[in-house]
Structure 1
Amino acid sequence: MQISDLPYSDPGVPDARSGPRFLLWLGRNQIGGQLKSLAWGLLHFSSVAGLPYGVGYAVQAVVDRSGTRLAAAGGLIVLLGAAIALGDTMLHRTAVTNWITAAARVQQLLARRTAALGAALTRRVAAGEVVAVSTGDVEKIGWFVEALSRFAAAALTVVLVCVALVVYQPALGAVVAIGMPVLALAVLPLLPRATRRADHQREKAGRATELASDTVAGLRVLRGIGGEELFLDRYRRASQEVRKAAVRSARMWSLISAIQVLLPGLLLIVVVWYGVHLAREGRISVGELVTVYSAVMILNYPLRHFEEIAMAYSFSRPSAQRAARVLSLQRVTEPAGGLLDTTAPSGDLYDPATGVLAPAGLLTAVVCGDPDLAGRLADRLGGHPASTETGDAPNPDDTAAGDDEREAEKAGLPSVLLGGIPLDELPLDVARSVVLVQDKDPVLLSGTLAELLYVPSSGAVRPEDALAAAQCADVLDALAQSSLDEDPMSARITERGRSLSGGQRQRLALARSLVTDPEALVLDEPTSAVDSHTEARIAQGVRALRQGRTTVVLTSSPLLLDRADRVVFVQDGTAVAVGEHRELVRTEPRYRAVVTRETDAEAPAVRTGPRPASETGIEIDIEETA
């Protein structure tokens, strides 16, 4: 795999059972690149290790006053130098290629998993952790993949040099062959502690990143309630914990580095002392002593890669563990046999778990007695309920005593049906094309307004019509003033639409959803940030534009409810009443309490006469009994 071939057409199915297994899976998928890097590494390290022989041969030629052998030694050194340069260049090239391709594979896997999970991802994994995994953790994983082939080449070179020294000069070679394994293995007892400290540092850094991400996402709210200093102080404390953990980790790694310098120095002293003793006795020549001494000096270079691979693994293992945790999350349990016919279905949208039915071609409003249930119901209607996700570690908060609703979800709920076909059995791309869910807090990506509205669509709804239905005239005027050519479609929208008000962002997101024109559109509180007059016009515009299409609006706004073809009231996770808005206001006290925000103490025993439009969305004469 070359960099020019990226991205992967198929990044594969990762082994996400654990961090080490995920790293092993990455290595297996890069076996070709690793072998290339190993081959160039062997050329580089063996050429470096061959220099002492050339130097020793040259020294002995000078002692023997042999010009021919001195010239041969010079030619050998030049040849080895060229091999070192070529091997080092290609080793760096192939190792970096391995790093980039591994990082690209991990990022593609994370992107696919994020797309598959959708909004359910951030309910299982914090947004800051997702950011940390896709940035810093990918870099750490790539570092280990890059260092692996260099370490393998260095280890093989050390073994070959030790064997060669034993053959070349058995007396001194035996000392080196015994000392080198001691040097390589001396730091092993310290690695578990260094690894734990590195894990602790990465954990603290991940928490600080999560805190920073969450703080930035809620900065506008924090400013509104004056909580900036409080969260800033929390981030300062988290940063200091990261600094302390990093210092503790660095101390351990500095100790390992010191040992890696001290022990080779001691080995050199032993080699020189013993070699001089052998030379005085005439058992070895001066050139052989220089060769062995130089070889021990040169071997310090490949030995440094033992420390690098230990550091790379220590830092990449927790990163791989976090990546594996995200990749192990599943949107749904795959059915034993999927549908052979992947034609987009149509018809009624029905949730067997709650009994909510949205007939085809009608505008159905859903009112939930529990506000939290509305978001979960919207996710269910979109085909990605939280109850069907799996991961390596359940959230203990999900099993709190008395939380019967979440316990029922954990047990698994039946899939939502579209035209009688379970959404779980549809391929993901088909399910996403037929049912679109707009969250109550939709995200606007940075770019121009034209790019924002350039989404997959049926072509039946023009952007101009969608903007008009969402009542975006004032937004277009504001964007036109900020555009150089006074064309609102070319105006830039900042990240998450931060330059727009909450109502403007909400209306642009609604226009984007309307342009998509799916078979079934689910809107979760689409007008919560706009005034009542604009809300009434939006309700009329959505109803007109979605004529003949299935639309579900989760809301408690009387202005939207009054324009719905039918209203479903959900209490305690079950649809308990169905009808028109004015009918339910008159006949269902629980529904009336949710819609009008009226408590039992505030409700009069008998009320006769017109109810204000602010409460019901219309004026009707009613007579009600408490």
Structure 2
Amino acid sequence: MSAAGDDTGSTGGNTPEGDGTHGAEGAREADGTGASPDANVPEGTDVSLSATVPEESRAPEGTSASPDANVPEGTDVSLSATVPEGTRASSDASVPEGTGTTQGADSAEGTRGATKGRRSGGAVLRGAVAGQRGRVAAASVLGSGHQAGEALVPVIIGVVIDLAVATGSPRALALWLAVLGGAFVVLSFSYRFAARIAERGSEQAAHELRLRLTRRVLDPRGGAEHGRLPGALTNIASGDAERVGMAVGLLALGVASIAGLAVSAAALLRISVPLGLLVLLGTPPLLYLAHLVSRPLARRSEGEQERAAQASGTAADLVAGLRVLKGLGAETAASERYRTTSRASLFSALRASRAQAGHDGAVLALTGGFIAAVALAGAVLAMRGEVSIGGLVAAVGLAQFLHGPFRVLAFVNGVFAQARASSQRIAEVLESPWSVPDGSASLPPEPAGELRLDGVRYGSLHGVDARVESGSLVGVVAPDPRAAADLLACLARDADPEEGSVEVDGVDVAKLALEDLRRAVLVAEHDAALFETSLADNVAAAARGPIDRALDAATADEVAEALPDGRRTRLAERGRSLSGGQRQRVALARALAADPPVLVLHDPTTAVDTVTEARVAQRLAALRRGRTTVLVTTSPALLDTADTVLFLDGGTVAAQGSHEDLARTLKTYRETVFA
């Protein structure tokens, strides 16, 4: 047994790590806590979902999201980090209900607050533009200069023909060639800086949207994550924010194209009033028709992004753990889930691509016909002698130039159609209803840390009454994992009780400012994730002081000693470069380093061996002496250090006493703890 954490078994039965049993505590993981802590994703495992399409809404080249894209057998595509409440592995190895394997959660994402999202999606898009109005205005002015210069090139060439070539004047030829060169200098300069400013505005708008989404998701009042898989939120914060940012940057390009059309119309009016009127009167209906053509693209782009988010969420969900599937025997069901999601995402991507192709083709046909009409009208006027040869050359050149602005407007129109769909999805996240409202009451800078539960009814809890005195260490044993999860939700105030109250130092947490509550009470979940930074930075993330004692209490100092660079060793994503037991010990050290007045730990040692667990139990009790600590666990080693143990059975506190007394007198307690 390695001191650094060859963590092999758990209190319930010392089974080897990797056989998927883990005794009683391993069973609890399969029942209620999600992926095993040691669920390492094999390096190089491809879990990306290629049906997530790029910005232009085209199916990815060589997409692997085909209907036959099966998950390789043995790859853990965990059924959900939250295996459903009270669900046991069934003999038919079906995916447990409630794990997010169906599309119901995704449907909830698409429908919950959809009407409100549609109303406010435009506000998100307008707000993104308004936030970059300075850059958009500057890029529009410079872009308009570029388009005006492009439009004037055929006009200047026509003047050269009429005033220099036709008259044979070298001086006039030199003069107008110099003017032509100046026009090229201006349009090149304008384009360069317009593109730079527009790109900066695009990236900044996307960045600010990502920040808004991050603040909303991390808001202590919660709610943004309900009905959405983590991968879906990632997709919204990346793909959708990027699309809206692109639209902001391209707005200047659209304005510049309109300016180019205006200059072209003015030049054509100078050459021939009928030609100018044809452009002026024909452009608005053409733009309106292009807008009508973009509506199917907007609808299909929204569906495409929703399916892409679902696919990303499913992929992230399915690789959350490597042990759960094998424990449930549900590899076949998980493969089918992946295949179904992949097929739906691919189908939506192809529909959006067809809509994009139809939009581009229709707009191209409209603009091509319009340009041909302008060129034909110019030719007829030249044949009648109503315009000069230079005028005809200028008119034909302008007709060819018009193709550019019209193509740009068609492209911008398509991007805005996609951006409207993305902004609606962003709005749905930003306007998600809060899980809990914020309060206004406050606590002193150093709360005493007394907890009281008075008639708490929530989920599987049916009138829980309990008091945890300040500075005490209390164990909570719950045979039903749902009861433990519901208790943790109430203590963390992820949800408010349906009846009753939870109090900290006599203040109802429902009335307490969330900032004060988070400062006073820390609920450390069983499956807490580590970050992609050094071990020391992970532990010190919320530390109030030096981390040495916390590392020692969690025996995470031994983990550091086994790493190549010690505490400075950079961990992989979610700590996957560590074993399950090592990850648990580092996560426990992080919670202990925070040193909150009230610390609630949920199964902090299920993946460590019994010898290490016993040392952790003794050191944890010593470190937390005088600070309120609640251990929601069935570990005998941890419970033996508790001042008192609450036995939560049938949704109420069925018994209370020392671990030794409860083990001696209660059969159900013994079965729960020593099974």
C-alpha distance in 1, partners of 2:622/2:637?
Answer: 15
Q: Secondary structure at the match of 1:493?
A: coil
1:290 matched to 2:393: yes
C-alpha distance in 2, partners of 1:345/1:173?
Answer: 78
Moved more, 98-107 or 192-201: 192-201
Could you say if the C-alpha distance between residues 22 and 414 of structure 1 is closer, same or farther in structure 2, counting changes exceeding 3 Å?
farther
- Structure 2 unaligned blocks of 5 or more: 1-115, 457-463
Q: Deviations over 1:572-609 (max 9, x none)?
A: 5444544333444566x5xx4145239xxxxxxxxxxx
Of 287, 291, 299, the residue aligned with 1:196 is 299
Question: What is the aligned partner in structure 1 of residue 158 from structure 2?
Answer: 56
Displacement after TM superposition at 1:97 (Å) = 1.1
Question: Do 1:147 and 1:308's aligned partners in 2 also have CA atoms closer than 8 Å?
Answer: no
- Of Structure 1 and Structure 2, the greater helix share is in 1
Question: What is the aligned partner in structure 2 of residue 597 from structure 1?
Answer: 672
1:534 matched to 2:643: no
1:466 matched to 2:581: no
Of 437, 441, 451, the residue aligned with 1:333 is 437
C-alpha distance in 1, partners of 2:383/2:376?
Answer: 11
Question: What is the aligned partner in structure 1 of residue 469 from structure 2?
Answer: 359
Question: What is the aligned partner in structure 1 of residue 485 from structure 2?
Answer: 375
Moved more, 223-232 or 39-48: 223-232
Question: Do 2:148 and 2:259's aligned partners in 1 also have CA atoms closer than 8 Å?
Answer: no
Q: Deviations over 1:285-328 (max 9, x none)?
A: 12222222222221221222222222222222332233222222
C-alpha distance in 2, partners of 1:416/1:160?
Answer: 70
Question: Do 2:243 and 2:419's aligned partners in 1 also have CA atoms closer than 8 Å?
Answer: yes
Question: What is the aligned partner in structure 2 of residue 320 from structure 1?
Answer: 423
Residues paired across the two proteins, number:
549
Q: Secondary structure at the match of 2:452?
A: strand
Question: What is the 5 A alignment of 1:74-223?
Answer: 74-117=177-220, 122-222=225-325
Of 440, 444, 451, the residue aligned with 2:526 is 440
Could you say if the C-alpha distance between residues 228 and 216 of structure 1 is closer, same or farther in structure 2, counting changes exceeding 3 Å?
same
Could you say if the C-alpha distance between residues 473 and 35 of structure 1 is closer, same or farther in structure 2, counting changes exceeding 3 Å?
closer
C-alpha distance in 2, partners of 1:572/1:55?
Answer: 90
Q: Secondary structure at the match of 1:334?
A: coil
Question: What is the aligned partner in structure 1 of residue 366 from structure 2?
Answer: 263
1:511 matched to 2:511: no
Q: Deviations over 1:598-624 (max 9, x none)?
A: 9xxxxxxxxxxxxxxx57xxxxxxxxx
C-alpha distance in 1, partners of 2:597/2:160?
Answer: 83
Question: What is the aligned partner in structure 2 of residue 457 from structure 1?
Answer: 543
Could you say if the C-alpha distance between residues 135 and 107 of structure 1 is closer, same or farther in structure 2, counting changes exceeding 3 Å?
same
Could you say if the C-alpha distance between residues 319 and 357 of structure 1 is closer, same or farther in structure 2, counting changes exceeding 3 Å?
farther
Q: Could you tell me the TM-score, scaled by structure 2's length? A: 0.74
Q: Secondary structure at the match of 2:541?
A: coil
Of 127, 131, 155, the residue aligned with 1:25 is 127
Displacement after TM superposition at 1:224 (Å) = 5.9
Q: Secondary structure at the match of 1:364?
A: strand
Q: Deviations over 1:94-151 (max 9, x none)?
A: 1111112112211222222233249875454211111212222221121111112221
Task: For 2:279, give the aligned amino acid.
Answer: V
Task: For 2:559, give the aligned amino acid.
Answer: V
Task: For 1:358, give the aligned amino acid.
Answer: V
Percent sequence identity is 33
Task: For 2:484, give the aligned amino acid.
Answer: A
C-alpha distance in 1, partners of 2:141/2:511?
Answer: 48
C-alpha distance in 2, partners of 1:30/1:273?
Answer: 42
- Structure 1 unaligned blocks of 5 or more: 1-14, 388-408, 599-613, 616-626
C-alpha distance in 1, partners of 2:613/2:574?
Answer: 22
Question: What is the aligned partner in structure 2 of residue 8 from structure 1?
Answer: none
C-alpha distance in 2, partners of 1:560/1:268?
Answer: 81
RMSD: 2.9
Q: Max radius of gyration: which structure?
A: 1
Could you say if the C-alpha distance between residues 511 and 59 of structure 1 is closer, same or farther in structure 2, counting changes exceeding 3 Å?
same
Could you say if the C-alpha distance between residues 132 and 272 of structure 1 is closer, same or farther in structure 2, counting changes exceeding 3 Å?
closer
1:417 matched to 2:503: yes
Question: What is the aligned partner in structure 2 of residue 553 from structure 1?
Answer: 631
Displacement after TM superposition at 1:43 (Å) = 1.4
Q: Secondary structure at the match of 2:630?
A: strand
Could you say if the C-alpha distance between residues 229 and 76 of structure 1 is closer, same or farther in structure 2, counting changes exceeding 3 Å?
farther
1:41 matched to 2:143: yes
C-alpha distance in 2, partners of 1:359/1:417?
Answer: 12
Question: What is the aligned partner in structure 1 of residue 41 from structure 2?
Answer: none
Could you say if the C-alpha distance between residues 197 and 582 of structure 1 is closer, same or farther in structure 2, counting changes exceeding 3 Å?
same
Task: For 1:40, give the aligned amino acid.
Answer: L
Task: For 2:483, give the aligned amino acid.
Answer: L
Could you say if the C-alpha distance between residues 528 and 467 of structure 1 is closer, same or farther in structure 2, counting changes exceeding 3 Å?
same
C-alpha distance in 2, partners of 1:597/1:567?
Answer: 13
Could you say if the C-alpha distance between residues 369 and 240 of structure 1 is closer, same or farther in structure 2, counting changes exceeding 3 Å?
closer
C-alpha distance in 2, partners of 1:143/1:150?
Answer: 11
C-alpha distance in 1, partners of 2:324/2:668?
Answer: 29
Moved more, 364-373 or 542-551: 364-373
Displacement after TM superposition at 1:79 (Å) = 1.9
C-alpha distance in 2, partners of 1:525/1:52?
Answer: 77
Question: What is the aligned partner in structure 1 of residue 645 from structure 2?
Answer: 567
Could you say if the C-alpha distance between residues 268 and 133 of structure 1 is closer, same or farther in structure 2, counting changes exceeding 3 Å?
closer
Q: Deviations over 1:435-480 (max 9, x none)?
A: 2111011112233322222233332xx533323322346534532x
Question: What is the aligned partner in structure 2 of residue 274 from structure 1?
Answer: 377
C-alpha distance in 1, partners of 2:343/2:284?
Answer: 40
Could you say if the C-alpha distance between residues 350 and 196 of structure 1 is closer, same or farther in structure 2, counting changes exceeding 3 Å?
same
Question: What is the aligned partner in structure 1 of residue 447 from structure 2?
Answer: 345
Displacement after TM superposition at 1:174 (Å) = 1.9
Question: What is the aligned partner in structure 2 of residue 11 from structure 1?
Answer: none
C-alpha distance in 1, partners of 2:323/2:657?
Answer: 39
Q: Deviations over 1:200-233 (max 9, x none)?
A: 2222222221121112212343356665565455
Q: Relative contact order (C-alpha < 8 Å, sep 6+): which is higher?
A: 2
Question: What is the aligned partner in structure 1 of residue 68 from structure 2?
Answer: none
Q: Could you tell me the TM-score, scaled by structure 1's length? A: 0.80
Task: For 2:139, give the aligned amino acid.
Answer: S
